[in-house]
Amino acid sequence: MARIVVALGGNALGKSPEEQLNLVKHTAESLVGLISAGNEVVISHGNGPQVGAINLGMNFAAENGKTAAFPFPECGAMSQGYIGYHLQQSLQNELHSRWMATNVASVVTQVEVDPTDPAFENPTKPVGDFYSKEEAEKIEREKGYVFKEDAGRGYRQVVPSPQPKSIVELKCISDLIATGNLVIAGGGGGVPVIKTENGLKGVPAVIDKDRTSALLADNIDADQLIILTAVDDVYINYGKASQRRLNHVSSAEASQYIDEGQFAPGSMLPKIEACLDFVSSKDERTAMITSLDHLDDALAGKMGTIISKWGASVTE
């Protein structure tokens, strides 16, 4: 039996409650399939579109005198509950349909960050929906948000993305896993907190969910990290005539491609770096990047990109 941490991309979860609930039904089928194959699975997820929508909605309501203003950390916690609820429900329904008695639990997760992390001086993490350049500039003027172009798909709000130091609820998560529960944790990379004289305090930022997923996978001694994103495979020379799919690469090769600037910051780069963080500590660990739709094919070796310490030096 393998212990696997599966990191779901926030963009794959839809832009509305109705769309998300419909999409996670398919997600539940694939994840429960992993469990029924004899694996122990822990789930994390992104929250970029969701936390952005919650933040904008709460700000709009506050500006119109309908509610109090809600800080960004609270919006992150809300997104964990909202997404966790949908995942729990869909997973429970799928488990019950297969006569599996596994319980599902979501843990609202805090992750400690360093208040002096340089990321606070350079916002890079995309949150919320995509906008045209004109729309983004208008929101920047009105609200003071920072927007950046996101891999040719439009402009998105960006916030600081500090490195995760430790998972506050790790003991609770470990205990739930040990007693046979299917655990959802580290949603949206966790709510970023710092230590103060008076205890923990939330800070306005978004931790990259793949980095937190790698930290969680390492902390619970997982065998594999699977990052599910919008693309089936990782490529070098992406979008060029010389584009090549990476099948199975070593840590050294992946690091070389990073040095060459092959992976876009804020997009594929943090996923590759998270995989490297995870596989570097134990020789037998592997990481995989693929899409949810083709997870079964990736597990069968037909697609997807695998990163391991030694690799197999395969491109296509």
Identify whether 271 is a catalytic site residue.
Answer: yes
Q: Report d(CA 184, CA 6) in Å as an integer.
A: 10
Identify whether 209 is a catalytic site residue.
Answer: yes
Identify whether 125 is a catalytic site residue.
Answer: yes
Name the nearest CA neighbour of 110 among 73, 82, 79. 73
Which of the following is catalytic: 125, 188, 190, 247? Answer: 125
Q: What is the token pair recorded at 155?
A: 């402009």
Q: What is the largest CA-CA distance in the chain?
A: 59
> For residue 201, what are the contacts with CB-CB under 8 A and spacing of at least 6?
193, 194, 195
Identify whether 186 is a catalytic site residue.
Answer: no
Which of the following is catalytic: 9, 10, 76, 189? Answer: 10
Q: Which residue has the tokens 């990047």?
A: 289
Identify whether 144 is a catalytic site residue.
Answer: no
Q: CB burial class (10 A; 0-12, 13-18, 19+) of residue 72?
A: buried
Which of the following is catalytic: 209, 247, 304, 311? Answer: 209
Bridge partners for 112 per DSSP: 166, 193
Determine the Cα angle at 278 with ends 209 and 242, to 5°: 80
Secondary structure (3-state) at 229: strand
> For residue 283, what are the contacts with CB-CB under 8 A and spacing of at least 6?
309, 310
Which of the following is catalytic: 128, 271, 304, 311? Answer: 271
Catalytic residues: 10-11, 125, 209, 271
